[in-house]
Structure 1
Amino acid sequence: MRKVSLKANGAKLAVAGMAAALVVLTGGCTSVSDHRGYLIDQALIDSVQPGIDNRMSVEKTLGRPTFESQFGQKDWYYVSQTVKTPPFRRARTAEQTVMRVRFDPSGNVAGVDKRGIEQVASISPDGHTTPTLGRHRSLLEDLFGNIGAVGAGGGSGAAPQGPGPNGS
């Protein structure tokens, strides 16, 4: 009777040890979440009023923008991203908010627009090479293709003839 209880306790300890090892091993397999850019505070955003605020008051309320438009009217953009990195994978944008503050020509706020990740264009490049014009050559042709061709074009030493920058 005594031997059976020791075996049962040993089995319980083995199961508990395996469970603890499983928890430790899978604990490192969680994705890492990271915030980039502007920290959005909805109360501050709501306090910016079109027709009332100007560039200076927006800068005091929201801070300097992430970037300013380079063409057309000088709109201000505040970009906020939440990026998640799963284990052994590339980082992916989970959430993105772009807030645009539009100004009229006199510098007063004309409007505040907010866009999410649904406005981001998703592109998928086709392949790993860029198509170019010209001949497709193998590695060996690139390495040994010029053997015997050096000096073969202008071996006579005469001046160039015909149309061109140095010819007639």
Structure 2
Amino acid sequence: MALLAGAVAVLPACTSIRENRGYIVDSTLVNAIQPGLDNQRSVEATLGRPTFTSQYGDPIWYYVSSTTARKPFVRPQIEAHRVLAIRFDPTGNVLAADTTGIDQVVYLSPESDKTPTLGRERGFLEDLFGNIGVVGAPGAGGGAPRGPGG
């Protein structure tokens, strides 16, 4: 009986914790955006400020939302991901409203813990002893500043 009571007490701790992140999608409001009829001002009044905007090319506003689930002491996993991209013409009128999902998400897996850089590799001893004789050498710029006439 005590084992059963312990299992029932631990069971709620194993359920997933769901979190909504970013823009909370309201399908009625998203469907209200009409290409050719709406402009930037009406889109902002309907959907609010975008998550971010394009910096180059045609003006595009992005509304990003994610739903994650995690179990206690485990890294969150994305359950749902949605990006609403609203494209505008140069005068600010809506051209199109496109929605993409989790199928467009790219998962990056780094190959190692080092970042490749230009230049040559230096060893530990070269780092340790590389500056011997350089400090205070003529042309090294490490000397004391000279005053007038000196």
Specify the TM-score bucket, using the shorter chain as the normaliser: 0.7 to 0.9
Q: TM-score, normalised by structure 2?
A: 0.79
CA distance 1:158–1:87, change in 2 (3 Å): closer
Q: Which amino acid aligns with 1:96?
A: H
2:55 corresponds to 1:70: yes
Gaps of 5+ in 1: 1-14, 161-168
Aligned to 2:17: 32
2:37 corresponds to 1:55: no
Aligned to 2:129: 146
Aligned to 2:28: 43
Aligned to 1:81: 66
CA distance 1:105–1:26, change in 2 (3 Å): same
Correspondence for 1:90 among 60, 63, 75: 75
- CA deviations on 1:109-132 (whole Å, 9 max, x unpaired) are 111000001111111111222345
SS in 1 for 2:90: coil
Q: Which amino acid aligns with 2:58?
A: Q
2:123 corresponds to 1:137: yes
Structure with bigger gyration radius: 1
Gaps of 5+ in 2: 141-150
- CA deviations on 1:27-62 (whole Å, 9 max, x unpaired) are 212221100111111111111111111111111111
Q: CA RMSD in A?
A: 2.6
Greater than 3 Å deviation, 4+ residue runs: 131-138, 157-160
Q: TM-score, normalised by structure 1?
A: 0.71
CA distance 1:96–1:159, change in 2 (3 Å): closer
* Higher RCO, 1 vs 2 (CA within 8 Å, ≥6 residues apart): 2
Tell me how many residue pairs correspond in the alignment: 139
Greater helix share, 1 or 2?
Answer: 1
- Distance in 2 of aligned mates of 1:87 and 1:137: 43
- Distance in 1 of aligned mates of 2:138 and 2:113: 46
